[in-house]
């Protein structure tokens, strides 16, 4: 090999080494860029995954809260319905007891006097003077009628007529002109709503 050939071979080898060096440099740069891109993609994926997991957890919490609220509302509705059924049953059970108590009150002479005195006072306040028709049970005696007259007759212009009614079990019914004051057992128990409210109030207090 002559000198010229030796030089040419050395130059070729140097060029090849430079090309290889440049290739490695560029390859390393590409690999580093790819690794950076891959790391960025992985980081974004992780962030997106965390967001989706957080959203899923929040949705599960909302669904759980909604189901819990629905269950509570259903339980409360069932409780109210149960209380209403019990209250209605208490009123149904209480009405016969109330009727019996009023009948017993009428049969007791002292309590009956308080009853009729209260009715007489109401008549004076609510009924106009004139002809009064007092319907009463058969067990209401003449002395008791005179006591009623004395209580209600304080107002001038009142003319009373007493009529025994075998269908009345307790209480008095007074008719004056177009007005009627019904303080009989049936009259007092006629307002079922008021009686139910009073019964429920009594139950709550007890």
Taking only the tens place, the pLDDT of each residue in 115-158 is 999 999 998 888 888 899 999 999 999 999 999 998 887 677 88
Instruction: Count CB atoms within 10 A of the CB of residue 114.
Output: 11
Query: Is-contact 95 185, C-beta < 8 A?
Result: no
| Percentage with pLDDT > 70 across the chain | 87
CA–CA separation, 200 vs 88, rounded Å? Answer: 9
With cut-offs at 50, 70 and 90, classify the pLDDT of residue 178.
Answer: confident
* Residue 183: its H or E element: strand 179-184
pTM, two decimals, is 0.54
More confident residue, 189 or 146: 146
Closest CA to 152 of 177, 179, 169, 133: 133
pLDDT tens digit string along 79-123? 887 877 777 777 777 778 888 888 999 999 999 999 999 999 998
Instruction: Count CB atoms within 10 A of the CB of residue 192.
Output: 10
Closest CA to 114 of 196, 178, 170, 40: 170
If one looks up domain 108-205 in CATH, what number appears? 3.30.2320.30
Residue with tokens 């960025």: 40
């Amino acid at each position: 090999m002559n000198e010229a050939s030796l030089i040419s071979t050395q130059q070729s080898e140097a060029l090849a080494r430079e090309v290889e060096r440049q290739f490695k440099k560029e390859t390393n740069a590409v690999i580093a860029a790819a690794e950076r891109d891959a790391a960025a993609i992985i980081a974004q994926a992780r962030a997106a995954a965390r967001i989706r997991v957080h959203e899923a957890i929040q949705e599960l919490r909302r669904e759980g809260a909604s189901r819990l609220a629905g269950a509570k509302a259903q339980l409360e509705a069932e409780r109210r319905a149960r209380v209403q059924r019990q209250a209605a049953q208490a009123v149904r059970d209480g009405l016969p007891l109330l009727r019996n108590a009023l009948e017993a009150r009428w049969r007791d002479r002292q309590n009956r006097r308080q009853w009729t005195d209260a009715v007489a006072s109401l008549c004076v306040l609510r009924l106009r003077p004139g002809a009064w028709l007092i319907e009463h049970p058969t067990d209401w005696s003449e002395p008791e009628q005179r006591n009623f007259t004395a209580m209600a007759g304080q107002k001038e212009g009142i003319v009373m007529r007493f009529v025994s009614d075998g269908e009345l079990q307790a209480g008095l019914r007074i008719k004056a002109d177009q007005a009627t004051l019904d303080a009989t057992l049936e009259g007092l128990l006629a307002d079922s709503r008021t009686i139910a409210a009073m019964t429920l109030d009594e139950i709550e207090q007890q």
